[in-house]
Amino acid sequence: MVRRRRPVQIAIWTTTAAVAIVLLSGTTLLAAQQKATTKPQAGRTDAEKAKADKPGAKRRKPSTYRGHLPAYYAKVVDDKQRQSIYDIQKEYKPKIDELKTQLAALTKERNEKIAALLTPEQCEKVGALKKAARDKRKTGKPKAKKPRKTKSKKSGNTPAAKEPAKPATAQ
């Protein structure tokens, strides 16, 4: 049975859509106007300008920024503690970088040993699967899904169409 929509619902939806369109177009015009009125920034590369022009981008002073604080620390620590955290991070950075390099080397070695177990045919199949996944990520289009099988009322899947259970015979 097809459900008909009431004229009031249709009017509400159209009004809501119209308001949304007006708001979005106004925001776009305002952003374009602000971009046109900003002064060009001399002495910066195009990448730096683009990064600084992004909405919500924080501008930091390069001389005072030393690292990053762990989550939720910024509102809790004072300047002395902040500097101590930066010093600790600076102390551990080379050690962590060295361990990351070791981890990458171990991961590569492990993957090579695993790949050595495959036959040439299996290697080709794995390569094809990797290429398909890479292509899928580049295009961003998911594979077409198979249509779902639906139960038909004519197919006899309804309880009324099933045969009743046979009573057990006594011997």
Q: Residues 3-41: pLDDT tens digits?
A: 665 777 777 777 777 777 766 666 665 666 666 655 555
List the domain boundaries for the chain: 1-37, 66-138
Residue 49 has pLDDT above 90, yes or no: no
The secondary structure of 104-154, three-state, reads: HHHHHHHHHHHHHCCCHHHHHHHHHHHHHHHHHHHHCCCCCCCCCCCCCHH
Instruction: Quickly state the pLDDT bin for 168 (edges 50, 70, 90).
Output: low
Q: What is the pTM of this model?
A: 0.40
| Per-residue model confidence (pLDDT) at position 132 | 94
